[in-house]
């Protein structure tokens, strides 16, 4: 599992700006669900699994050293097998919980129930901290046993000494990677603070207000407005200006009819840019005209309808016709110049 996660991370890093970027632009929802889920699940499940199985390994080694009779009794059952299977299942369950925590902060799950989110976040962190506390306790007990044995090792037989060597080896083997287990648990603390504490108490004029949104709905509303404004300005900004709150987004596009209806008289059309063949594209102007035409034809009984839409439609249609004539004349003129230059050679 760790190998799969490592290979996936390497591929993602290598193709972040090529393949992954292309798919994110074409299939945004599928990209977020697939790539983000794999990234979180593979990483967190590996970290969780190591914490669980390292704890079990040290526990079994300690029991084998300190309580050999109990160890023999347990080894005759399938308890060891079931314990390691349970660690796999539990690691994936906790990783799935952390995936939900991540998506709950994204627009795709912005309406996720906050109470359920707090419950399974506390449960996940509680399980991890219990295992971490157990691991810490085993470290202390093991160090005590190793210290006692180091001062009185001459009184023990060769069998006990071999068990001591095994316990020491396991302890040394498990110590360095536990640093990464701590790193895996640490990011959960800010999540718990963000979920459990009333952030409104921390409102101030400091920079923290710019980093932590007081209200999730307000945060997603601002994010929606930002994306809507960027997309609208990129496509129609040269010809049409509307208030940001009037823009209506649909999957991979802007609902121009609803946007114009919402804006009403607040929509501003730049007729000078529309009449200039050097600004923007005629296809974009055609979309604006089609939207006005649909409004005039089908939305006369809408409460947002304004007679100004009819005058806009007529003006836009005339200016587009003039623009096309100028473009055609310019195209013919340039073609004539090219032919004359070619014949001159």
pLDDT above 90: percentage of residues in the chain: 1
Quick: pLDDT tens for 70-86: 888 888 888 888 888 99
pLDDT category at 326 given cuts 50, 70, 90 is: low
pLDDT score recorded for residue 173: 65
Quick: pLDDT tens for 298-309: 888 888 888 888
Q: Average per-residue pLDDT in the chain? A: 71
For the segment 229-251, the average pLDDT, to the nearest whole number, is 83
For the segment 199-222, the average pLDDT, to the nearest whole number, is 46
pLDDT score recorded for residue 160: 61
Quick: pLDDT tens for 256-296: 888 888 888 888 888 777 777 777 777 888 888 888 888 88
For the segment 208-223, the average pLDDT, to the nearest whole number, is 52
**pTM check: above 0.85:** no
Cα distance between residue 335 and residue 321, in whole Å: 21
Cα distance between residue 92 and residue 5, in whole Å: 13
The count of other CB atoms within 10 Å of the CB of residue 309 is 22
For the segment 231-241, the average pLDDT, to the nearest whole number, is 83
Quick: pLDDT tens for 143-197: 777 777 666 655 555 556 666 666 666 666 666 656 665 665 555 555 555 554 4
The count of other CB atoms within 10 Å of the CB of residue 103 is 18
pLDDT value at 310 more than 70: yes
Q: Tokens 């032919």 belong to which residue?
A: 339
pLDDT score recorded for residue 31: 59
For the segment 243-262, the average pLDDT, to the nearest whole number, is 82
pLDDT score recorded for residue 175: 65
């Amino acid at each position: 599992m760790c190998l799969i996660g490592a290979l996936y991370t390497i591929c993602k890093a290598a193709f972040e700006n090529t393949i992954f970027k292309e798919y994110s632009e074409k299939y945004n929802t599928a990209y977020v669900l697939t790539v983000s889920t794999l990234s979180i699940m593979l990483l967190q499940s590996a970290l969780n699994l190591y914490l669980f199985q390292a704890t079990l390994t040290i526990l079994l080694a300690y029991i084998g050293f300190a309580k050999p009779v109990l160890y023999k009794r347990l080894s005759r059952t399938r308890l060891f097998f079931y314990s390691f299977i349970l660690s796999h299942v539990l690691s994936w369950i906790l990783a799935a919980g952390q995936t939900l925590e991540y998506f709950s902060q994204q627009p795709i799950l912005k309406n996720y129930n906050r109470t359920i989110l707090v419950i399974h976040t506390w449960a996940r962190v509680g399980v991890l901290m219990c295992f971490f506390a157990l691991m810490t306790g085993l470290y202390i007990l093991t160090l005590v046993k190793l210290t006692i044995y180091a001062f009185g090792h001459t009184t023990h037989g060769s069998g006990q000494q071999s068990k001591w060597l095994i316990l020491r080896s396991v302890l040394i083997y498990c110590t360095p990677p536990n640093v990464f287990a701590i790193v895996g648990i640490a990011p959960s603390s800010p999540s718990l603070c963000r979920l459990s504490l009333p952030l409104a108490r921390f409102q101030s004029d400091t920079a923290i207000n710019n980093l932590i949104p007081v209200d999730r709905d307000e945060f997603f509303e601002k994010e929606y407005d930002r994306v809507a404004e960027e997309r609208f300005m990129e496509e129609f900004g040269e010809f049409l200006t509307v208030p940001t709150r009037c823009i209506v987004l649909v999957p991979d596009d802007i609902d121009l009819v609803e946007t114009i209806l919402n804006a009403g008289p607040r929509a501003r059309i730049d007729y000078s840019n529309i009449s200039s063949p050097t600004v923007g594209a005629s296809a974009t102007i055609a979309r604006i005209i089609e939207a006005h035409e649909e409004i005039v034809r089908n939305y006369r009984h809408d409460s947002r309808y304004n007679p100004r839409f009819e005058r806009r439609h007529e003006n836009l249609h005339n200016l587009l016709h003039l623009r096309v004539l100028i473009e055609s004349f310019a195209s013919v003129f340039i073609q004539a110049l090219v032919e004359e230059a070619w014949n001159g050679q």
